[in-house]
Structure 1
Amino acid sequence: MMENPKNEYSLAIVGAGPRGTSVVERFADLALKLTPKGSRLNIVVFDPYRPGSGHVWNPRQSENFWMNTPASFPTVAPERATDEPGLSFRQFVQLKGDGRQLSEDHARTIERIDAGTYPSRAIYGEYLEHVFDRSCEVLREHDSFSIQHVAAEVLALRTQGNGYQLEYQAAAHGSEVQHLPVDAVVLALGHQSAELNPWQKQLQEAATNSGATYLPPNIPADLDFNKFVGGQPALIRGLGLNFFDCMAELTLGRGGIFREVGAEPGQRLEYVGSGREPELIVASRRGTPYWGKPVVDQFIPDEIQLRFLDVQDLIGHLAEIRATNSNATLEFSRHIWPKLHRDVLFAYYRQCVQISGAPAGSTAEEFVDQLEAILVAEHREGSQVWLGELRKFISQFPEIQWLDVPKLARPFEEIGFASNEDYQLAVQDYLASNARHSSAGLDDPLSCAIMTMNAGRMLVKELIVAGAIDEQSRIEEIQAHFEPLVEGLASGPPLERIEQLLALSRAGIVTFIGPEPEFAFDEVSGQFTASSPWVDAEVHTAKTMCEAMMPSNRVLQNDTTLIRQLLKDHVGRAHTWRNSEGESLPGSGFDVVGEPYRLVNSEALAHRGIFVMGLQLSSAQWGTAIAAQAGDLNNPAARTLKDATHVANEVARLAGFLVGEGLPAERH
């Protein structure tokens, strides 16, 4: 019996950035496999911005805003084999835009992109719009589909009979609120604005009262860079990817030039200023920026292999435990980190001997055999005894340093600096070391260790999706400790940005504050203040302060009209979890169940026809902002494509087009 007794089924997709575009492309792929039989699926896509690129990926944004994955990695569609609607970004570049009319600047840019290039977000926006447009063409040519884009903001979503009703307002000023009944909804909302935390609110209020300028967390393309006054100091909190966007826009974007002066890593560039740059006084908790990416052509090169961390082994082990305890889960510190830690150290020391030769008194083969014997030795589950044994083994060879992996996230931990000058030189040495290591790519032991950890992160993401990891372990171990470690090392900028930062530091345009910075507002002088307890220097002051970070991705903190309405009217709820003391604590994302992920209401009932994609799945997934990896659709790194496929197949099943696992209904 068909799920849909009528001949038409309607779907609203709210949000037309990368996740919404993936869903549209999956429907186009289905359309190519279906023979029209009288049923019809009407799709309405809501987004106040241009569909495809959406808000974040506008092709007209500054070319100074770069992606932090190489061109070989990201995609919103499976790679095209014949005439499918989708294609990866790599294919889009190889096909020179696949026939799309590009601006003259973008046409020149695409000629210079290769597999290892870190492209601008603007050119990726061109790719997203192409996939959306091509997918819409396929759907419009098929008698069983229709699709339209409505340039409007959805304000509310409510249940209505067996379906739903949307309230929306067109982007044009003064437009009336309109209503649309639909059978199903996909929430692909992407980045949302959020309330400031109490400390940020206090800084903002103090600045407003004193005529100072406070720039809260924001998407870089939305930041008003005119607020930064040339020649005047500006405090920037955060040294992640948003910082590098700000750095580039406030230097290159103001006419500055990075001049090539040498070939040695860490000494390549010199900055020639325009005189219009502000003085950037910058800080992060660790005191250093994210580590610059190794120079390789792939996000995770094929040469990087995990020997000890195996998802299938862990899931099989968990199944055995659940035979006697159905609620059993894995703990990161006990079941996962000891295995991944082994992989990281094995990759590091094996590469050490391959590049530098075996330490005295040993051949390379003997060293690797002894290393492996220590790492594979059987210990009780969760034991860290092997780590002590490995440390003793390495200590026999003074020419090989011990790699303290957790300390990589805190390079200046408990180190004091007698002056500001001492600290600036220390950070410059750190950045130059980053340049030397990362420029060597796969030949560098530390780069191999970092890329191995990143490969492990992809598997940890898959274990979280599978519900295999204890939630308290996820919150208190993965997100509190492992995430800052792996993000700071593996999610940094292209190495070119580190070279640029070094040049700016040497030119005096950028000054580093120090670890564990303390920010405040001096109401007497009407200025922001910043200092570090680990650097003996004068307090830094400025009339301008910028939070170089994205708005918080927590549904209870998001302040958009739609998310607030969903929570207030009990259409959806935030995920909650219980800690070991039995306390119920809010999670970051919506409460969802199943795959595809259905929204759960306040009565713990899942909606039949509301599906969630992307960032608001942060309680069911980890790392939801990372794009899918091009290539194998079954790769865990292609998770967002799987999510889109599940949604499209389920909606098509509800509409009567498919049965079972995505099989055309007319064939049964």
Structure 2
Amino acid sequence: LTLAAGPPLTVDALALATGHTDRRPSPEAARLGAHAERWGLVHLPPGHAQERDTAGLPAGGHVVVRGMAMGFFDQLALLTEGRGGRFVAADAADGGTEVTATAARRAKGTGPLRYLPSGREPRLSVTSGRGVPYLARGQAPGTMPPGHTLSVLDATALARLTSAAPGSLSFRRAVWPLIAKEAGLAWYRTLVRYRPERVAMPADAFLDRYAATAYGSPPERALLAVAVPEPSDRFVPARIDRPLAGRVFGDPASLDAWMREWLADDLAQALRPETSPLKAAAAAVAAAKGPVRRIATSGVLDADSARDLAWFRSFGAHLASGPPASRIAELLALAEAGVVEFPGAGPVVLPAGGEERTPTGQGAGDEGVFVVRTASLPGRAITTRALVDAWLPATYLAHSADPLLRGLLRSGLGRAHRAGPAQDGEPTGALDVTLPELRVRDASGRPAADLFALGVPLEGLEWNTAIGARAGTDAPLFRQADQVAVGMLGALRPAAPS
């Protein structure tokens, strides 16, 4: 194993647990980067927040940030608290008790916050495909979340699904309805318990009838129309996934007001998760991720399911893998302080300057800029000299810029995994390994005796490899690590006699 510095290492066994690695620029990133270089702009492509050079984002300057998932919150912290800003309790006078990021998370964000700027922050316009951040995780101070016991996508259902013929099941038709019914039951159980006045029939009768109907079927829709008269009380995954879909605002102030109300509502629900139908549904979706991973790796899903699995990974992350409530409290405080604004969903970024044209067909003058439009504010074009893409690059082996992974392919010690039982289909983006041993296959398909890989580099062969381990769930992450440890111990050469 050759390192950047120091002598090479000769080892008996090696495990690749490289996580997210650098990726070669996408065509869009290359185009935006070239435009930035030409006009002296700043474009920070996708990557780890703590590894970026943000010195080019000037104090008081306007910055557009794309992406509102977990990497976004890391970037936000570095550009605000990281530049000397402070959070204080909302009812504290100026100079009152400071609430550090650590203290806020220790307190689980139980109180509203106010942000005191340092003057060194940029002004941030924050947007993403959804236009809203990941939902806050439910967290009652001083307790561990109880989790969710699967009753629809349970062990019996999992055994039935994974015993199907290879490539015979559609995720959308065979698996998603079970997940949605699981989450819907959790939603309505919480609704009838804590808001019984919102349900127009006896709780037990309603829940029994709901459980007996297929998700999305006409009988289910008819039942909900009668039993849950107010549409906002119903479990609607599409509305949860894309709350800004179809919403158009006439001015930025109206959109900002909507966003602050949305953030405040999510924060309130996260701090009392036991009473929130939304957080109950989130716990159910989180519990379903393990079975989905086993279904995905069993080989029973058809080729079209890859797209649906990608959607579910995104939906599940938004609903059930979001930030602590304290991060949402901080974002709300930053919005109220005027440091952050929200242009909405579906951003489109175009380079403009000189002979290049803005989306309206007008020239941008002699100065190069990025022009940003969103679906939520169709009448507004935002121009900026600084663009930050606040997400980790997607994992795809052929596009990796990591010298270790590229060296494996170049030397023939590793190969790309391909779809299909005979691995004769399209590349999945994963490094090819044996299952369940996780031994890396060389260019000819032969598994190594002493080289293993686990986690993110296997995304495509496995599913949702970046998911963390949840207590009491027999987490795949731990099972993989144990499997690799066993294999590595078996690869050790006995010590030579002294």
TM range (shorter): 0.7 to 0.9
Tell me which residue corresponds to 2:477.
640
- Give the counterpart of 1:254 among 83, 87, 100: 83
For 1:332 and 1:262, locate their aligned partners in 2 and report how far apart those are by CA, in whole Å. Answer: 49
Unaligned runs of 5+ in 1: 1-165, 378-382, 658-668
Indicate the residue corresponding to 2:34 in structure 1: 205
Q: CA deviation digits over 1:322-380, x for unaligned, max 9?
A: 4xxxx3554322222111111111111111111022557633xxx23332234235xxx
Deviation by residue 1:559-596 (Cα, 9 ceiling, x = unmatched): 122221211232211111159xx993221210111222
Alignment length (residue pairs): 463
**Alpha-carbon deviations, 1:252-301, whole Å to 9, x = none?**
122222222259x9982222212111001111011111111112479983
Q: Which residue of 1 aligns with 2:68?
A: 239
**Structure 2 CA distance for aligned equivalents of residues 287 and 359 of structure 1:** 29
Tell me if structure 2 keeps the 8 A contact 1:300–1:451: no
Does the alignment pair 1:523 with 2:326?
no
Residues 89-108 of structure 1 aligned to structure 2 (within 5 Å) = none
From 336, 339, 350, give the equivalent of 2:189: 350
Matched residue type, 1:440: R
| Percent pairwise identity | 27
Tell me what 1:169 maps to: 3
Q: 1:295 to 1:229 in 2, by over 3 A?
A: same
Counterpart amino acid of residue 294 in structure 2: E
**C-alpha spacing 1:596/1:300, structure 2 compared with 1 (3 Å):** farther
Q: Taking CA–CA contacts closer than 8 Å with sequence separation of 6 or more, which of the two structures ends up with the larger relative contact order?
A: 2
> For the structure 1 residues 536 and 569, does the alpha-carbon distance in structure 2 shift closer, same or farther, using more than 3 Å as the test?
same
Given that 2:15 and 2:454 are in contact with CA atoms closer than 8 Å, whether structure 1 keeps it comes out as: yes
Match of 1:273? 117
Q: Give the one of 43, 54, 64 matched to 1:214.
A: 43
1:520 is paired with a residue of what secondary structure?
strand
Equivalent-residue separation in structure 1 for 2:420 and 2:329 (angstroms): 45
What amino acid is aligned across from residue 592 of structure 1 in structure 2?
Answer: V
**The one of 330, 333, 340 aligned to 1:503:** 333
Moved more, 424-433 or 351-360: 351-360
Q: 1:194–1:241: structure 2 CA closer, same or farther, 3 Å change rule?
A: same
Q: Which amino acid aligns with 1:507?
A: A
Aligned partner of 2:178 among 326, 330, 339 = 339
Which residue of structure 2 aligns with residue 452 of structure 1? 284
* CA drift at 1:627: 3.1
Letter aligned with residue 619 of structure 1 = G
Please give the residue correspondences for 1:76-91 in structure 2 after superposition, counting only pairs within 5 Å: none
Partners of 1:514 and 1:460 lie apart in 2 by 31
SS at structure 1 position matched to 2:426? strand
- Distance in 2 (CA, whole Å) between partners of 1:298 and 1:458 is 26
Whether the 8 Å CA contact 2:65–2:125 is kept in 1: the answer is yes
Query: Aligned match of 1:194 in 10, 16, 23?
Result: 23
Distance 1:267 1:650, change over 3 A: closer
Which one is further off, 643-652 or 190-199? 643-652
- Residues 127, 345 of structure 2: 8 Å contact kept: yes
CA distance in 1, matches of 2:241, 2:91: 29
Per the alignment, in what secondary structure is the counterpart of residue 587 of structure 1?
strand
- When normalised by structure 2's length, the TM-score is 0.86
Contact 1:238 1:547 in 2 (8 A): yes
- Using the size of structure 1 for normalisation, the TM-score is 0.65
The yes-or-no answer on 1:591 pairing with 2:432 is yes
Q: Per the alignment, in what secondary structure is the counterpart of residue 376 of structure 2?
A: coil
In the alignment, is residue 478 of structure 1 matched against residue 478 of structure 2?
no
Is 1:310 aligned to 2:154, yes or no?
A: yes
Encode CA deviations 1:610-643: one digit per residue, 9 max, x unaligned: 211221111232222233334x5xx332x22222
AA matched with 1:347: A
Q: CA 1:259–1:476 in structure 2 vs 1: closer, same or farther (change >3 Å)?
A: same
Deviation per CA, 1:163-220: give whole Å up to 9, x if none.
xxx3x1343xxx6xx5555443322222311111000011111111211111122212
Q: Given the superposition, is the C-alpha separation of residues 360 and 602 from structure 1 closer, same or farther in structure 2, using an over 3 Å criterion?
A: closer
The whole-number CA distance in structure 1 between the counterparts of 2:40 and 2:290 is 46
Instruction: Answer whether contact 2:167 2:303 (CA < 8 A) is retained.
Output: no
| 1:391 CA drift (Å) | 2.2
Q: For 1:455-488, what per-residue CA distance to the aligned partner results, in whole angstroms no more than 9, with x for missing partners?
A: 11232123334x1441524421111x21121111
- Tell me how large the CA RMSD over aligned residues is: 2.7
Q: What is the deviation of 1:417?
A: 1.2
Structure 2 residue aligned with 1:127: none
- Matched with 1:463 is 295
What amino acid does structure 1 have at the position aligned with 2:132? T
Partner of 1:566: 408
Does residue 134 of structure 2 align to residue 290 of structure 1?
yes
Distance in 1 (CA, whole Å) between partners of 2:414 and 2:217 is 46
Extract unaligned runs of 5+ from structure 2.
93-108, 355-366
Q: AA paired with 1:394? A: L
Letter in 1 for 2:462: Q
Of 336, 339, 344, the residue aligned with 1:514 is: 344
Candidates 229, 235, 258, aligned match of 1:398:
229
Q: Choose 1 or 2 for highest CA Rg.
A: 1
Which residue, out of 529, 533, 548, partners 2:390? 548
Correspondence 1:299-448 to 2 at 5 A? 301-302=145-146, 304-319=148-163, 321-322=164-165, 327-359=166-198, 362-363=201-202, 367-376=203-212, 384=215, 387-396=217-226, 397-399=228-230, 401-448=233-280
Provide the C-alpha distance between the structure 2 equivalents of 1:317 and 1:553, rounded to a whole number of angstroms. Answer: 27
